[in-house]
Structure 1
Amino acid sequence: MAGQIPFVRDMDFDYGAVTEISPLVRRVIANNPGPFTFTGTGVYIVGRGTVAVIDPGPYTEEHFDALKQALEGEAVSHVIVTHHHMDHSPLAHPLAEWAGCKVYGKPAPRHEESAVQMDAGSDHGFKPHVELNDGDVLEGPGWTLETIETPGHTSNHLCFALKEENALFSGDHIMGWSTTVISPPDGDMRDYFESLDKVRARGFDTLIPTHGPPITDDVDGFIGAYITHRRAREASILERLKAGDTTIPDMVKVIYADVDSRLHPAACHSVLGHMIHLVKDGHVSVTGSMDVSGTYTLTQ
């Protein structure tokens, strides 16, 4: 099923080095590879002279020093965060303090902790100096970033459209190397579908995810494949229910048989996201708690 998405995984880079992505965009990758971060967090520098930094990444001295070196001779006017996971936001405030600017984004939500954590976990204390909302615009010399609210992966997830290049910094909303985990209670599958449709309707030429290389070929088709993949996952869940499976872990063993087993706990939460969607739509009923431990059956 994963093969339906034309994943983009090949990329040449050195940790801490600056890579030119486009005339307006440069990238520095943090040395935090893993099953959820791929090669590591891609930090993006937008503009020349006076710049914005998107998703500064984890707080390590090595990574902070690499960013300082990459930004030498330039003024940072905005430090921007797509969402509050530990591989995205912890360095935001230290970098902004060093640069003498403000942090922009949405605060970490007040949700109960998921039983399964993302590999890097959540930065629960994250709070920007400036809270962004849909349509808010951040500008610098030669660059314009529009805020697009894209809840789903997290409730506070934001993407940023670079007007001059018709490109979207997609954070973890759409990634080239893998699908995105939607983990309740903060992740919401219904919101995610709506956010995918919202981004697709904009007709971007390029998607620039925080993890992995940019997506430049047939962006509309790529997003369409993402949506098709999610719908197919939902169909697979219904098939497993018809086959007699009643628990999410049993379904994951079959549906995600071709996926790294380290990701199966997170896959359980993606299935839970689909299951909550199906329960709300009346297709499935639950006995016990509506979580990974629940028992699920078809209603029709």
Structure 2
Amino acid sequence: MSIPYVREIAVEYGRCDQVSPLIRRVTADNPGPFTFKGTGTYIVGRGQVAVIDPGPDDPAHLDAILRAVQGETVSHILITHHHSDHSPLAGPLKARTGAPIYGCAVAPHDDDDDHAGGVRMEAGHDLGFAPDISLCGGGQVIEGAGWTMDAIATPGHTSNHICFGLREENACFTGDHIMGWSTTVITPPDGDMTDYLASLADIRRRRFDVMWPTHGPPIREVDAFIAAYAAHRQERLDQLTTALKAGPARINDLVPRLYADVDSRLHPAAARSMLAGMIHLVREGALATDGAPGPDSVYRLV
């Protein structure tokens, strides 16, 4: 099943766009291979507002957010996760508005998954991210004047990823958990395929009418999109088990075979993604390896 990507979006950096009755969006000028057109910061409500994913530490973007909420009170700053295109501006925004920061802190890992063989895997980590109010585990209800949001724990892309469900519009702010323009990067140790697939199913069960990713346009055919997203992940996992029918192999043996049509400079990045799949399949009992699954392990079918 091919993913019905949604990529059409008109962006003018610094402009505030009213995108639904309760939602405005200001896009940061940080386009790139992991941010698409840039970080879309959402402002929810009128008068007393929440700001979701203020974005990178960019003074121009901070000024744009403050212009958009001029005359209003920012009562909540909500963070989906700790990547540097989402959370660093939370501190400066708090300093200017006094609003508390909501989110889930993450413990740093010994492994650096920002780089793999010279290939940048993400936009970087904001390891100093420290929310004032923890949403770890999800289940919290966050309320303002005329709006109500549910914090939904969605680990997978990162261990601390949170989505926010806006009850009044049956909408979900999905951060990087589900994006219309691309699949989501999942790289160990902080990224986890098992968690990701479970979180994806959780969001699907909630039957939102629209999803608002931090990067790119909204997704309005929600169920069909999530189904295709999940099917794509399963196809990748099936490729691994099929390839291992030829015999035990290491990830570095499989990447050139399964990604023959991909620029070889991106093969180290593909290897990190493949590792997430291997770890999941070992947990599921489909594959085995000696010791803990890792990038240099020899994998075999069970």
Asked if TM exceeds 0.5, the reply is yes
| 1:148 matches 2:181 | no
| 1:73 matches 2:104 | no
- Output one character per residue of 1:101-150: Cα deviation in whole Å (capped at 9) or x when no partner: 10000012232233444332111111100001422111111111110111
Inter-CA distance 61–260: structure 2 relative to 1 (3 Å threshold): farther
Which of these residues, 46, 49, 68, is aligned with residue 48 of structure 1?
46
Match of 1:174 in 2: 178
**2:212–2:218 CA contact under 8 A, matched in 1:** yes
Shift of 1:178: 0.7
Match of 1:136 in 2: 140
The residue type paired with residue 7 of structure 1 is Y
The residue type paired with residue 171 of structure 2 is A
Match of 2:124 in 1: 121
Which of these residues, 191, 198, 201, is aligned with residue 197 of structure 1?
201
CA distance in 2, matches of 1:129, 1:30: 24
Which of these residues, 214, 235, 240, is aligned with residue 237 of structure 1?
240
Query: What secondary structure, in the 3-state scheme, does the structure 2 residue paired with 1:180 have?
Result: coil
CA distance in 1, matches of 2:266, 2:149: 33
CA distance in 2, matches of 1:58, 1:158: 18
- How large is the Cα RMSD of the aligned pairs? 1.9
CA distance in 1, matches of 2:97, 2:261: 45
Match of 1:61 in 2: 59
Query: What secondary structure, in the 3-state scheme, does the structure 2 residue paired with 1:51 have?
Result: strand
Inter-CA distance 257–164: structure 2 relative to 1 (3 Å threshold): farther
Match of 2:250 in 1: 247
Q: 4+ residue runs of structure 1 moved beyond 6 angstroms?
A: none
CA distance in 2, matches of 1:243, 1:32: 44
- Output one character per residue of 1:67-87: Cα deviation in whole Å (capped at 9) or x when no partner: 222222211000010001111
Match of 2:108 in 1: 110
Query: What secondary structure, in the 3-state scheme, does the structure 2 residue paired with 1:104 have?
Result: strand
Match of 1:37 in 2: 35
CA distance in 1, matches of 2:167, 2:113: 39
Shift of 1:213: 0.6
Inter-CA distance 64–261: structure 2 relative to 1 (3 Å threshold): farther
**1:108–1:125 CA contact under 8 A, matched in 2:** no
Match of 1:214 in 2: 218
**2:248–2:298 CA contact under 8 A, matched in 1:** no
CA distance in 2, matches of 1:113, 1:232: 27
CA distance in 1, matches of 2:53, 2:290: 40
**1:108–1:123 CA contact under 8 A, matched in 2:** no
Which of these residues, 180, 185, 188, is aligned with residue 184 of structure 1?
188
**2:114–2:122 CA contact under 8 A, matched in 1:** no
Structure 2's unaligned 5+ residue stretches are: 116-120
Inter-CA distance 10–83: structure 2 relative to 1 (3 Å threshold): same
**2:56–2:87 CA contact under 8 A, matched in 1:** yes
Match of 1:99 in 2: 97
Query: What secondary structure, in the 3-state scheme, does the structure 1 residue paired with 2:249 have?
Result: coil
The residue type paired with residue 158 of structure 1 is I
CA distance in 1, matches of 2:270, 2:6: 21
Shift of 1:235: 0.3
Which of these residues, 79, 82, 85, is aligned with residue 83 of structure 2?
85
**2:31–2:38 CA contact under 8 A, matched in 1:** yes
Shift of 1:13: 1.1
- Output one character per residue of 1:234-278: Cα deviation in whole Å (capped at 9) or x when no partner: 001112222457232443344345567665433322211110011
Match of 1:295 in 2: 298
**2:100–2:133 CA contact under 8 A, matched in 1:** yes
CA distance in 2, matches of 1:294, 1:243: 17
Inter-CA distance 263–58: structure 2 relative to 1 (3 Å threshold): farther
What count of residue pairs does the alignment treat as equivalent?
296
Structure 1's unaligned 5+ residue stretches are: none
**1:83–1:158 CA contact under 8 A, matched in 2:** yes
Shift of 1:90: 0.4
